[in-house]
């Protein structure tokens, strides 16, 4: 299976925590010029089209494009027939016409940028939607026949209480959706929150409270019927994100658009991160992956999955003895961070909270 990631970098406003490649467009002409360049880059991968099984259109905010611009984008991809076809949507930039367009072009999965249902916290994050918008979008997506809806949720937001987190989890149950991606708020450089932090005006949540919130998320979502299948991801009825599973299993994927990354034919590809540079030529550079690099990625990404990794598969693929190659794994096992169950190495319940301590073994 091979994936295609398409990056739309434009946003109507910039969220205070976001460090993705993004910008507020000067005008519609800027977006149209970008789409022209994007079309040329997509065409350059035409020989891969028959093998692509997942498409993921991310950003930025893909849903801020006009209906005409979205039609143009989807037409670029119409010769690909993926099993899973996802687009990221922000509630405030959704319209019924756009939802109908998604359905007409075969999009069968929407990732909705919710982050929280609390209007005060949404304002703090510089999100422009309200709680009511979320329910309206989900209702219409179901109405037009897009059954697989995922929402992004953020916890450990400064000022967020356990009561507010419980409210968010109550609303997820009320929405009756198939997938949740839930992340703690991370302070990233080159963000508004980081600049506030440098001025002493932003204070991260206490780590113990963050861990308590993560535990609450896991327990509440499990009670709602979600399977915790990756550190930050939960699905009902096996409705996993097939595209993201490519990342976690070292599958191949093409990355097109400003700042996009790809992994094709043993090379990691990196596109230019600034608009003018991207418009001149797409790719910044590509790096051939050594066996050592691929082994490291296989282990780190694979252990993000709750089921873990097959020791036999890894040892056969790389011709190693896993515990001899990484003797510190025994130490992590003794600390109760990892375990071997049915031939698979996986994080324990304790290890899920302290995964980075395990991942550092492979770096």
* pLDDT score recorded for residue 7: 98
User: Distance between CA 185 and CA 187 in Å, rounded?
Assistant: 7
Sorting pLDDT into bands at 50, 70 and 90, what band is 108?
very high
Whether the predicted pLDDT of 10 surpasses 90: yes
List of E strands, 133-266 = 148-155, 179-184, 227-230, 233-235, 252-256, 261-264
The whole-chain average pLDDT of the chain stands at 97
Residue range 340-354, pLDDT digits in tens = 999 999 999 999 999
Q: How far is CA 64 from the centre of its chain?
A: 18
259: nearest Cα among 89, 38, 15? 38
- pLDDT of 169 > 90? The answer is yes
Q: Which long-range contacts (CB under 8 A, 24 or more apart) does 97-104 make?
A: 97/67, 98/63, 98/67, 98/70, 99/137, 99/140, 99/141, 99/144, 99/146, 100/144, 101/67, 101/70, 101/71, 101/74, 102/141, 102/144, 102/146, 103/144, 103/145, 103/146
Average pLDDT estimate for 178-193: 95
What pLDDT digit, counting tens, does each position of 47-92 carry? 999 999 999 999 999 999 999 999 999 999 999 999 999 999 999 9
pLDDT digits (tens, 9 = 90+) for 111-142: 999 999 999 999 999 999 999 999 999 999 99
What percentage of the chain carries pLDDT values higher than 90? 99
pLDDT of residue 1: 81
The reported pLDDT for the residue numbered 263 is 97
Question: Which domains, ranges and CATH numbers included, belong to the chain?
Answer: 2-246 (3.20.20.70), 291-363 (1.10.10.920)
The average pLDDT across 153-160 equals 97
272-324 pLDDT, tens digit per residue, is 999 999 999 999 999 999 999 999 999 999 999 999 999 999 999 999 999 99
CA distance 16 to 24: 14
pLDDT for 171: 98
Q: Are 213 and 183 in contact (CB under 8 A)?
A: no
Cα(31)–Cα(27) distance, integer angstroms: 7
């Amino acid at each position: 299976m091979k994936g295609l990631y398409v990056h739309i970098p434009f946003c109507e406003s910039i969220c205070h925590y976001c460090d993705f490649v993004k910008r507020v467009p000067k005008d519609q002409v800027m977006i149209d010029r970008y789409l022209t360049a994007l079309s040329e880059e997509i065409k350059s991968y035409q020989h891969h089209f028959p093998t692509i099984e997942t498409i993921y259109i991310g950003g930025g905010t893909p849903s801020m494009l006009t209906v005409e611009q979205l039609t143009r984008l989807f037409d670029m991809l119409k010769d690909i027939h993926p099993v899973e076809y996802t687009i990221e949507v922000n509630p405030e930039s959704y319209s019924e016409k756009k939802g109908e367009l998604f359905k007409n072009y075969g999009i069968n999965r929407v990732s909705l940028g919710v982050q929280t249902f609390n209007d005060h916290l949404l304002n703090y994050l510089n999100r422009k939607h309200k709680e009511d918008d979320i329910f309206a979008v989900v209702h219409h997506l179901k109405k037009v026949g897009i059954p697989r809806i995922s929402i992004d949720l953020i916890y450990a937001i400064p000022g967020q209480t356990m009561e507010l987190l419980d409210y968010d989890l109550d609303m997820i149950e009320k929405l009756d959706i198939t997938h949740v991606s839930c992340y703690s708020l991370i302070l990233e450089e080159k963000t508004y929150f980081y600049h506030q932090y440098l001025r002493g005006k932003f204070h991260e949540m206490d780590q113990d409270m963050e861990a308590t919130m993560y535990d609450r998320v896991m327990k509440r979502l499990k009670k709602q019927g979600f399977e915790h299948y990756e550190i930050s991801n939960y699905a009902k009825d096996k409705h996993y994100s097939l595209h993201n599973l490519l990342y976690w299993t070292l599958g191949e994927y093409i990355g097109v658009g400003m700042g996009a990354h790809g992994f094709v034919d043993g090379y990691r590809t990196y596109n230019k991160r600034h608009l003018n540079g991207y418009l001149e030529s797409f790719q910044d550079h590509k790096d051939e992956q050594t066996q050592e690099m691929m082994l490291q990625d296989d282990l780190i990404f694979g252990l993000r999955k709750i089921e873990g990794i097959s020791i036999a598969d890894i040892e056969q693929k790389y011709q190693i003895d896993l515990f001899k190659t990484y003797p510190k794994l025994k130490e992590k096992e003794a600390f109760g961070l990892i375990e071997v169950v049915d031939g698979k190495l996986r994080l324990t319940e304790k290890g899920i909270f302290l995964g980075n301590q395990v991942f550092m073994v492979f770096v």
